[in-house]
Amino acid sequence: MTVSATEQQTATISSAFDDIPALTAADRCDATTVTIREGSGSANPRVACGAQAYITALFPSGRTLLFCGHHGHELECSLVEQGAVIRDDSTVLQQSTKPGASA
């Protein structure tokens, strides 16, 4: 069985996740959003989302970007089109339930 160059590159990038530490509560989303100043109607400069990161996008260059679940899922297709491999750790959100909540 012959492995294509794309499959080899994807396998190499995926194995690179082994060198990237797991995300922590201190990791934040790299996405930016336009915020509107209350009552002024004018846009502030683009600012970082700042939500906890659960998704890592690893590019062939070795660069990584972190995203919250919302932005990571929203941007996933675009990131993959740009050559990124995605590690989605957002399932930990479903593992955490509030006391008294049903799973």
What does the pLDDT look like over 12-51, one tens digit per residue?
555 777 777 888 889 999 888 655 445 555 555 667 788 9
Residue of 54, 4, 63 lying closest to 24 (CA atoms):
54
Q: C-alpha angle 63/18/62, rounded to 5°?
A: 15
What integer best gives the mean pLDDT of the chain? 76
pTM over 0.75: no
Question: What does the pLDDT average to over 58-65?
Answer: 90
Q: Above pLDDT 70, what percent of the chain?
A: 62
Q: 48 pairs with which residues across the strands?
A: 32
Task: State residue 86's pLDDT score.
Answer: 93
Place of tokens 């600012």: 47
Tell me which residue has tokens 């990571």: 72
- Looking at residue 31, its pLDDT comes to 87
Paired sense of beta strands 55-58 and 64-67, if any: antiparallel
The whole-number pLDDT of residue 77 equals 93
Output the pLDDT for position 20. 79
